[in-house]
Structure formats: structure tokens, C-alpha cells
Amino acid sequence: MKFTATDIEDLWVIEPQVFEDHRGYFVETFNQKEFKDATGLAISFVQDNESKSSKGVLRGMHFQKGEWAQAKLVRVLEGMVQDVAVDLRPNSKTYGKYFTIVLSSQNRKQLFVPRGFAHGFLVLSETAVFSYKCDNFYNKDSEGGLAYNCPKLGIPWEMKDESLKLSAKDLILPGL
């Protein structure tokens, strides 16, 4: 696997090695020892989630608060998304800074999002199947979120507002 540090501390782009032949392909998507050796971060995932969404669906910007905060390793199994993570760690020198990347079933890139970040994605293909591993369990009472269009963040989404499909909950999230 290739690990690339972003300009935000502890936020990593991971590109697994793909072995392809006439039968198909094989890819190792996570290796705890290799992850720790490359990033210096110890991680244990306890929950896997998957969603399927249609073009224009924007899910985010979500996070879990307090003791239920979650680190995530995200990837796309089918289709293509614009993935975004926002640093919300109060003592971070990159507080309020975002990182965006296109994740797809073709490029097989993954993004490791540490605890203390808001996270979301926008589906760019007709449909997308999105997978994420979490290092903590989901707790409804600890949900938090940021408005996808918060002017303080200035995230350059790949689609115009009128093309976006958001949940009622995501439409009323506060800004930073």
C-alpha cells in the first residue's frame, strides 16, 4: 500500500496495491501493522458501514461527539464520489480546513479520517456504493454536523446546489 500524508495532520490517502489477471483482481484494503508502520497511528476498527446513493446525493458533513467520536477509513466500491473531511479539532493548527479528493472504484483510493473531523461525500456517478470502517460504535445522541455550504469553509463542491439531494436533517445543519 502507498500512504500519502495530506497537509492536515493524521489525514491520509491510502492506495492499495491491486493484483489483476485474466480471472479478475485481488486487493488488500487494510492491514493494521502496515497502517501503523506508515502513519504512526494505532487503530482498531469495530464497525463497518455501507451505503448506496444516486447521483447528486450529498451525505454530510457528519461527525460523532465526545466519547463516541469516530475515525473512519472510507472507500468507494462502485461508482465515484467527491469526499470531504473538515478538521474540527480545537487545538489543531488546521482547524476549519477541509481536504477533498475523488474516490472511485476505478482509482481504489481510500481516505483515513481521524477522530475530530466532519466528513461527507457527494455522488458524482449514476450510483455509488460507499464503504467505511469505524473505530468506535455509532451513538445517535452524539451526532453532530456542519452545513455543507458553510461560507466559512468554502468547500468547492463538484455539482451546483440545485442538483444536490440532501436529507432534511442535512439541510438544517449549522455552520462552523
pLDDT by residue for the chain (176 residues), tens only, comes to: 999 999 999 999 999 999 999 999 999 999 999 999 999 999 999 999 999 999 999 999 999 999 999 999 999 999 999 999 999 999 999 999 999 999 999 999 999 999 999 999 999 999 999 999 999 999 999 999 999 999 999 999 999 999 999 999 999 999 99
Is 62 a known active-site residue? yes
Answer whether residue 80 is part of any domain: yes
Answer whether residue 140 is part of any domain: yes
Output the domain CATH number for residue 100. 2.60.120.10
Answer whether residue 148 is part of any domain: yes
Answer whether residue 10 is part of any domain: no
Answer whether residue 161 is part of any domain: yes
Answer whether residue 33 is part of any domain: no
pLDDT at 147: 97
pLDDT at 93: 97
Overall domain count for the chain: 1
Decide: residue 126, CB within 10 A, 0-12 exposed, 13-18 middle, 19+ buried.
exposed
Beta strand ranges found along the chain (DSSP E): 2-5, 12-15, 18-21, 24-27, 47-54, 58-64, 72-78, 80-87, 98-104, 110-113, 117-123, 127-134, 143-145
Answer whether residue 37 is part of any domain: no
Distance in angstroms (rounded) separating the CA atoms of residues 128 and 167 = 17
Catalytic residue among 25, 62, 95, 138: 62
pLDDT at 168: 96
Residue spans of alpha helices (H) in 16-81: 32-39
Catalytic residue among 22, 132, 138, 148: 132
Q: pTM of this prediction?
A: 0.95
Domain span at 141? 46-171
Is 132 a known active-site residue? yes
pLDDT at 109: 98
Answer whether residue 13 is part of any domain: no
